[in-house]
Structure 1
Amino acid sequence: MDLKFLEYKWFNLTLRFSKEENIREKWLYEIVSKHSSFNRAYHNLEHIIELCCLIEDFEKQLENPESLYFAAFFHDIVYFPGKTNNEIKSALLARKAMNELSVPEDITDKVTSIIRNTKDHFHIGSSESRDTLFFLDMDLSILGSHFDKYEEYYRQIRKEFICFPEKVYKNGRKKFLRSLLKRNFIFHTEPFRNKFEKQARENILLELKNYRRVWINV
């Protein structure tokens, strides 16, 4: 994990709004601390780094890349598997941080909206911005990765939900995966559909096939 890259991204982003080094360092510490918790097998600092790399790759296609970088840092800052209010609490914490960092209200509103939309990547309003759709696709891009990486991902998710009995978790996971396959498209934007859609569907089918054969060791 390249923590220096993460630090660079954070300080480069926040320096545009605040010269208060102690505030910038305070929130970086909070982000690192929360994402380094023992229960974070997938929703950790590595996930933020991967999102930042994707934002870099698609930066020229975004209206306001800064809002996506902030969303990357804060969208999972509150994460307790099985809880339904993670996104709301993450958005509130993001707003608190961005207010302290003197980020303009319009950017703050956009970031908190993106974070709330990660609660359900698909049941979103038709008025959502292109940037929001890009971030949602970035957040799910792991689904379209090489199967070796995808397999590591779903094992990590199982570790995060280790407090759930095997049958309960397995049934919930299968329901989620099948709901993805029923959609016309898993990804919202054309670039992500072109790059990840086919592989994502193949990966999901392989994971479902594994559940039919034998349960996965974590």
Structure 2
Amino acid sequence: MIPTTLEARWRHLTTQLGVAEPLRDATFRQLTAAYEGSGRHYHSLTHIRTLLETLELHKTLVQDAAVVQLAVWFHDAVYNPMRDDNEARSAVLAQEFLAKTSLPAERRQRVTFLIERTKDHTQPQPATDTDLHLFLDADLQILGAAEADYWQYARQVRQEYRLVPDILYRRGRKQVLEKLLGASVLYQTPLFRQKLDAAARRNLQAELRQWEKGGL
């Protein structure tokens, strides 16, 4: 039976890795506290659940499910909008945990690699890395969501950057949107590209126009 709650999913995953119960529970509390922090609005436990459910839905495309799930759990564990090294710091947090598990070093490094690739979704990706492709597409699927869901996401991201003045946020956000729109490839898998690319570009264009008018 597929675990349904996030805690059950975490327990199922970490049991496969031979994680002792005290470490399993302590790390779950640590991750929960991080994703439920007062500054989290989009990069929250809801985001983690969405990614895990997406992986489950497309599990026939996944080669190393445990590694990809670990990357999901840790990829936004460190999230400070005022810093640019969140992915690297999240990867370090993952490695500190994984060093205490039975996961071989090569697969631990794969977790780090997957997490660090989320820093820039527009960078060229290895052509044959299907687990990476699905992970990145799942992370970016919100861009191609229904219009109302996309605008909720855009507002939530703005809330996460609430300490940044509007004039600076507008400039930075426009750069992000333009970079995404300028990417020849937004989604790495044919499945997500066909399903979400057109909608994602419409949403991104709409938000860009809104910022050019002054803001959300």
- What is the aligned partner in structure 1 of residue 167 from structure 2? 167
Q: After the TM superposition, which residues 29-178 of structure 1 pair with which residues of structure 2 at under 5 Å, given as runs? A: 29-126=29-126, 129-178=129-178
So what's the TM-score if we normalise by structure 2?
0.94
Change over 3 Å in CA distance of 1:140–1:183 after alignment to 2? same
Contact 2:61 2:130 in 1 (8 A): no
Q: After the TM superposition, which residues 199-210 of structure 1 pair with which residues of structure 2 at under 5 Å, given as runs? A: 199-210=199-210
Amino acid at match of 1:36: E
- Whether 2:28 is the aligned partner of 1:28: answer yes
Unaligned runs of 5+ in 2: none
SS in structure 2 of the partner of residue 112 of structure 1:
helix
Q: Distance in 1 between matches of 2:187 and 2:84?
A: 23
Amino acid at match of 1:141: Q
Q: Distance in 2 between matches of 1:92 and 1:176?
A: 25
Cα displacement (A) at 1:59: 0.9
Q: CA RMSD in A?
A: 1.6
Cα displacement (A) at 1:125: 4.9
Q: Distance in 2 between matches of 1:53 and 1:65?
A: 12
Moved more, 25-34 or 101-110: 101-110
Contact 2:181 2:201 in 1 (8 A): yes
Q: For residues 182-210 of structure 1, what are the alpha-carbon distances to aligned partners after superposition, in whole Å with 9 as ceiling and x for unaligned? A: 22221111111011101101111111222
Contact 2:122 2:180 in 1 (8 A): no
Q: Distance in 1 between matches of 2:136 and 2:125?
A: 13
SS in structure 1 of the partner of residue 119 of structure 2:
coil
Aligned pairs, number:
214
SS in structure 2 of the partner of residue 100 of structure 1:
coil
Moved more, 96-105 or 33-42: 96-105
Contact 2:71 2:115 in 1 (8 A): yes
Cα displacement (A) at 1:127: 6.0
Q: For residues 156-198 of structure 1, what are the alpha-carbon distances to aligned partners after superposition, in whole Å with 9 as ceiling and x for unaligned? A: 0000011111011111111111111122221111111011101
Amino acid at match of 1:17: L
Change over 3 Å in CA distance of 1:19–1:78 after alignment to 2? closer
Contact 1:41 1:159 in 2 (8 A): yes
Q: Distance in 1 between matches of 2:23 and 2:70?
A: 15
- Whether 2:194 is the aligned partner of 1:194: answer yes
Q: For residues 105-156 of structure 1, what are the alpha-carbon distances to aligned partners after superposition, in whole Å with 9 as ceiling and x for unaligned? A: 2221111100111111222453672211211111111000001000000000
SS in structure 2 of the partner of residue 215 of structure 1:
coil
Change over 3 Å in CA distance of 1:19–1:123 after alignment to 2? closer
Change over 3 Å in CA distance of 1:183–1:127 after alignment to 2? closer
Q: Distance in 2 between matches of 1:124 and 1:213?
A: 32
Contact 1:117 1:124 in 2 (8 A): no
So what's the TM-score if we normalise by structure 1?
0.93
Q: Distance in 2 between matches of 1:26 and 1:19?
A: 11
